[in-house]
């Protein structure tokens, strides 16, 4: 009797297993994307921007903290400029001295011109007297030679003015270089972003190119994912895309296809399904429009996992309309939880 019960239990378990498998195959909803669409796993990413010093120096002040949101043109840090200010004063004095030298050279030109005018007048008088045999030929030759000497002296004086002016240009260029260094000692935000790392503190001495801060650039927010060779060639640059992040499964964020890799590569680790990892993949990037990002800078953060959807072009280049579930809702503001405060490329 017990043997019959055991056989019956085995048959029941086997029937249940076969029924479950049949339900999964025939009745369960498919996890594949609709025809004409493709999707891939990715995370919200942005470029990192290092704020560095151009010259070696001491950090005088850092005006932001980690996590602060900054706009293009905001002052982020100031380097000590006491030494540069002293160099600027010295350069200003050198410029003034060079300009005075130009004035002296110009006075020499005026003097040379007066001397030449006098010698030319004496030559004219000597030629007139020589015609009446009042002045000897020797005296006439002396007057002519004196004119030639004075002409050469004028040319030398004028060349001296040019040389002194070049000296002014050199000293002025040196002053402008110092002023540029002083201007570069104030570090500004090149674009809107969020301070990710504060790498230095006031009082520290940094070498040329020393990093002070690292910003997460909010000027270009994107998601990268990978598609197989059967789908990637059908993705059109500039076409609409959709991003759905895990923390907001009910909101579809509009995006634009901004990059399709021209060459396949081995499947990276973030493509986790076995079927996809068996083939080469193409890297795709979809970018969230800047105007949408600009309206939600306080909410946008990077590192959040999600899914990117793209449309696949048909043989004639036509694309299908987006399904209802992937149509972006018109909402006044995105929820605050668009992402965790983590660095791009890291796991939240």
Q: Is residue 329 part of a domain?
A: no
Q: Is residue 113 part of a domain?
A: yes
How much is the CA Rg of the chain, to the nearest whole Å?
Answer: 40
Q: Is residue 180 part of a domain?
A: yes
Q: Is residue 306 part of a domain?
A: no
* pTM to 2 decimal places: 0.67
pLDDT attached to residue 200: 93
Q: Do the Cβ atoms of 168 and 186 come closer than 8 Å?
A: no
Q: Is residue 58 part of a domain?
A: no
Q: Is residue 316 part of a domain?
A: no
**The token pair that represents 73 in the structure block:** 């043109």
Note the Cα 305 to chain centre separation in Å: 26
**The token pair that represents 223 in the structure block:** 């998601």
Q: Is residue 174 part of a domain?
A: yes
Q: Do the Cβ atoms of 212 and 187 come closer than 8 Å?
A: yes
Give the chain's domain count: 1
Q: Do the Cβ atoms of 303 and 340 come closer than 8 Å?
A: yes
Q: Supply the range of the domain harboring residue 109.
A: 82-184
Q: How many Å apart are CA 311 and CA 320, to the nearest integer?
A: 7
Q: Tens place of pLDDT for every residue, the chain, 348 residues?
A: 455 555 655 555 555 556 555 444 443 344 566 788 888 888 989 989 999 999 999 999 999 999 898 989 999 999 999 999 999 999 999 999 999 999 998 998 898 888 888 888 887 887 787 777 777 778 777 888 888 888 898 888 899 889 999 999 999 999 999 999 999 999 999 988 899 999 999 999 999 999 999 999 888 899 999 888 888 888 988 888 999 888 888 888 889 999 998 887 776 655 555 555 556 788 999 999 888 887 777 777 788 899 899 988 887 778 788 777 676 653 434 443 343 333 333 333
Q: Is residue 158 part of a domain?
A: yes
The residues facing 37 across adjacent strands are 311
Cβ within 8 Å of residue 219, ≥6 positions away: 47, 191, 192, 193, 290, 293
Instruction: List alpha helices for 46-136, DSSP H.
Output: 82-131
């Amino acid at each position: 009797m017990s043997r019959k019960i055991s056989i019956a239990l085995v048959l029941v378990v086997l029937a249940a297993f076969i029924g479950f498998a049949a339900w999964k195959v025939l009745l369960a909803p498919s996890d594949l994307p609709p025809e004409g669409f493709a999707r891939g796993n990715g995370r919200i990413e942005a470029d990192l921007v290092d704020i560095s010093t151009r010259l070696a120096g001491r950090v005088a002040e850092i005006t932001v903290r980690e996590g602060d949101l900054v706009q293009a043109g905001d002052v982020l840090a100031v380097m000590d400029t006491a030494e540069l200010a002293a160099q600027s004063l010295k350069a200003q004095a050198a410029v003034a001295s060079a300009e005075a030298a130009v004035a002296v050279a110009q006075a020499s030109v005026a003097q040379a011109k007066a001397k030449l005018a006098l010698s030319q007048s004496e030559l004219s008088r000597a030629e007139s007297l020589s015609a009446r045999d009042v002045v000897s030929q020797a005296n006439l030759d002396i007057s002519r030679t004196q004119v030639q000497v004075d002409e050469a002296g004028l040319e030398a004086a004028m060349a001296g003015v040019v040389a002194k002016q070049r000296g002014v240009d050199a000293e002025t260029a040196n002053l402008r270089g110092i002023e540029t260094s002083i201007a570069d000692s104030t570090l500004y935000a090149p674009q809107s972003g969020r301070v990710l790392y504060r790498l230095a503190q006031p009082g520290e001495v940094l070498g040329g190119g020393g990093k002070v801060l690292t910003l997460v650039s909010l000027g270009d927010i994107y998601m990268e994912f990978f598609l197989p060779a059967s789908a990637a060639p059908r993705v059109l640059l500039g076409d609409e895309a959709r991003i759905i992040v895990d923390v907001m499964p009910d909101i579809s964020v509009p995006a634009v296809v901004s990059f399709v890799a021209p060459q396949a590569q081995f499947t990276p680790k973030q493509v986790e399904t076995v079927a996809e990892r068996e083939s080469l993949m193409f890297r795709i990037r979809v970018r969230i429009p800047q105007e949408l990002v600009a309206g939600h800078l306080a909410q946008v953060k990077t590192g959040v996992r999600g899914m990117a959807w793209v449309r696949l072009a048909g043989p004639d280049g036509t694309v299908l309309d987006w399904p209802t579930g992937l149509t972006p809702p018109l909402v006044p503001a995105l929820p605050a939880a668009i992402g965790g405060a983590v660095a791009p490329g890291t796991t939240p």
